[in-house]
């Protein structure tokens, strides 16, 4: 279908690859963004629990008789329980002096802090997240600042993040696969008008060079317009060739006929033997030229039409009757009896001009090679295939190289002295093949050739 076409790349592949590539990039972006966002949310969750723990400890801090007491509730640490059993560290400072808890925690000394400070740090070799807040206790004559830090390892957070990452990766993959399916669907939908155009052009009849009328997408409009113009030009040029062939046939044959009739008339008038001889040779040459011109035009016509037959219903018997009628003057000159044997009309689908050309050339051959006062029998049969059999009583085909006769410009080696171009059988065979048939040549047992033209 695409032989001889210079193909690089595929629109469909290019479209699919860009759609899938786009989906892949979007999926990766989605994964990164969602994971970062989830990490932020999870961290916020841990931070708020740490802050709540800090504030519950700070709330319990009181000054009693000048001593700081921090009777914080069980829930202060209970709320820090996680599935991964994260380690908990805390420190309670009074004016930068460690009252209780762990030393060395990220501790923010005094300073006007409006809200809880969160920090990520390393403690005892592990990463921790801490929350620190301060509160000023006012006693009878003292003022003291209590600072509380609660810190926690991030094992549960990591587990949560790993879960989220896995889920996001799963969803991302799902969406990606869905996008791939959608990409294929979108590609197919986009490519469809092109396919439709291709099939509508491919399915056209040989003579159909009319413009494409079915609607096409706007992107294909100019292509189709160009195609339509090209077909228009092709149509015009085809018609011109056909006209030219018909014209040329006419122009060549008519003057030759005129020259021949003049030559014949002259032959009647000359008396000298050598002149008559020359005239006869001239007439023979004219006949040869006329015949050759005719056959060349027939051959050209056959070649031209064979690619796109104009099939109509034809009655072979009627066609033969017409041909015989037209050829009877020639037959009568040689006293040859042309007989058609047919019981009933044989209707075939075919190109009438081509069939006429082909069969005329066969009968022409038979007339040419038949001796005077002989019979040519034309038998038309409808079954097993529509066929025409022409028998003459001439010399028949040379026994050797019978098949070669069907090639162009080849003639039998037993026909010296008879005018011929070697195109007759070729034309007939081209016509038969164009109609899906064949020609077979054989010699009759009692002498004479038998040609069968079957469709």
Partner 1 sequence: MRYILALILCFLPSFSIAQEWEDKQLFQGENARKTLRVLSSTDTAFFAPIVEQFLARNPDWSIEYLVTSTAQIDQLLREDPDRFDIVISSAMDLQLKLVNDGFARALPGIAHPSWAQWRGRLFAFTTEPATIVINKAAFNGKPIPQTRQELILALRQEPDLFRGRIGTYDVRQSGLGYLFATQDARASETFWRLTEIMGSLDARLYCCSGEMIDDVASGKLLVAYNVLGSYAATRQLNDDRFEIILPSDFPTMMMRTGFVSKHTQHPDAAEAFIQNMIDIQTSGAGAGSSRLPPLYQTSETASPSVIVLEPALMTYLDKLKRRTFVKEWMNAVIQ
- Closest approach, Cβ 80 to partner 1, in A, equals 5
- Closest approach, Cβ 185 to partner 1, in A, equals 48
* Phi, psi dihedral angles at 382 (to 5 degrees): -95, -20
**What single DSSP character describes residue 117?**
E
> CA 80, CA 122: separation in Å to the nearest integer?
18
- Asked if 294 and 419 count as a contact pair (C-beta separation under 8 A), the reply is no
CB environment 189-206: b (16+ within 10 A), e (fewer): ebeebbeebeeeeeeeee
- Closest approach, Cβ 69 to partner 1, in A, equals 6
Residue closer to partner 1 (CB basis): 91 or 363: 91
- Could you give the count of Cα atoms lying within 13 Å of 141 in the half-sphere of its Cβ? 0
Residue closer to partner 1 (CB basis): 75 or 223: 75
Residue closer to partner 1 (CB basis): 81 or 142: 81
- Closest approach, Cβ 77 to partner 1, in A, equals 4
> CA 318, CA 388: separation in Å to the nearest integer?
13
Residue closer to partner 1 (CB basis): 96 or 124: 124
DSSP-assigned beta bridge partners for residue 312:
350
Residues that bind partner 1 (CB under 8 A): 68-78, 80-81, 83-89, 92, 99-101, 124-125
Sheet strands (E) in 95-161: 97-101, 117-123, 126-138, 143-153
> CA 43, CA 201: separation in Å to the nearest integer?
65
- Closest approach, Cβ 122 to partner 1, in A, equals 13
Residue closer to partner 1 (CB basis): 93 or 369: 93
Residue closer to partner 1 (CB basis): 123 or 304: 123
SS3 64: strand
> CA 119, CA 131: separation in Å to the nearest integer?
7
> CA 376, CA 369: separation in Å to the nearest integer?
11
> CA 274, CA 280: separation in Å to the nearest integer?
10
- Closest approach, Cβ 11 to partner 1, in A, equals 56
- Closest approach, Cβ 62 to partner 1, in A, equals 10
Pairing verdict, β 449-454 and 438-443: antiparallel
Residue closer to partner 1 (CB basis): 154 or 429: 154
- Closest approach, Cβ 97 to partner 1, in A, equals 13
Q: Residue 316: which of 386, 263, 236, 365 has the closest Cα?
A: 386
Q: Which two tokens stand for residue 120?
A: 């990520």
Strand ranges of the sheet holding 337-341, from the earlier edge strand across to the other edge:
337-341, 375-381, 387-391, 449-454, 438-443
Residue closer to partner 1 (CB basis): 125 or 329: 125
Residue closer to partner 1 (CB basis): 81 or 192: 81
- Closest approach, Cβ 86 to partner 1, in A, equals 8
């Amino acid at each position: 279908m695409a032989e001889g076409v210079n193909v690089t790349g595929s629109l469909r592949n290019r479209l699919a690859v860009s759609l899938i590539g786009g989906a892949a990039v979007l999926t990766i972006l989605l994964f990164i963004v969602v994971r970062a966002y989830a990490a932020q949310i999870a961290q916020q969750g841990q931070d708020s629990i740490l802050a709540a723990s800090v504030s519950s400890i700070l709330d319990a801090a009181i000054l009693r008789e000048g001593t700081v007491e921090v009777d914080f509730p069980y829930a202060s640490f209970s709320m820090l329980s996680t599935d991964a059993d994260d380690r908990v560290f805390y420190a309670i400072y009074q004016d930068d002096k460690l009252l209780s808890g762990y030393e060395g925690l990220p501790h923010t000394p005094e300073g006007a802090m409006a809200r809880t400070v969160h920090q990520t740090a390393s403690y005892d070799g592990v990463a921790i997240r801490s929350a620190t807040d301060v509160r000023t206790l006012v006693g009878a004559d003292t003022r003291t600042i209590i600072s509380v830090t609660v810190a926690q390892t991030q094992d549960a957070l990591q587990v949560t993040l790993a879960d989220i990452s896995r889920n996001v990766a799963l969803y991302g993959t799902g969406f990606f696969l869905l996008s791939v399916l959608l990409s294929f669907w979108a590609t197919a939908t986009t490519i469809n008008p092109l396919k439709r155009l291709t099939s509508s052009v491919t399915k056209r009849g040989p003579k159909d060079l009319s413009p494409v009328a079915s609607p096409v997408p706007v992107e294909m409009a100019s292509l189709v317009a160009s195609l339509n113009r090209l077909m228009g030009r092709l149509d015009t040029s085809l018609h011109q060739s056909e006209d030219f062939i018909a014209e040329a046939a006419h122009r060549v044959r008519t003057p030759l006929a005129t020259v021949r009739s003049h030559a014949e008339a002259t032959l009647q008038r000359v008396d000298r033997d050598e002149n008559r001889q020359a005239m006869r040779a001239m007439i023979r040459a004219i006949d040869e030229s006329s015949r050759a011109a005719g056959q060349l035009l027939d051959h050209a016509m056959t070649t031209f039409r064979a690619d796109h037959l104009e099939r109509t219903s034809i009655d072979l018997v009627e066609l033969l009757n017409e041909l015989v009628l037209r050829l009877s003057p020639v037959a009568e000159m040689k006293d040859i009896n042309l007989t058609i044997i047919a019981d009933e009309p044989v209707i075939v689908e075919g190109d009438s001009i081509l069939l006429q050309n082909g069969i005329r050339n066969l009968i022409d051959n038979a007339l040419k090679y038949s001796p005077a006062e002989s019979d040519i029998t034309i038998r038309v049969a409808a079954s097993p295939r529509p066929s025409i059999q022409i028998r003459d009583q001439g010399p028949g085909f040379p026994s050797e190289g019978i098949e070669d006769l069907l090639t162009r410009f080849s003639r039998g080696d037993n026909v010296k002295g008879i005018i011929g171009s070697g195109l007759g059988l070729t034309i007939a065979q081209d016509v038969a093949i164009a109609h899906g048939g064949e020609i077979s040549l054989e010699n009759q047992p009692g002498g004479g050739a038998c040609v069968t033209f079957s469709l």
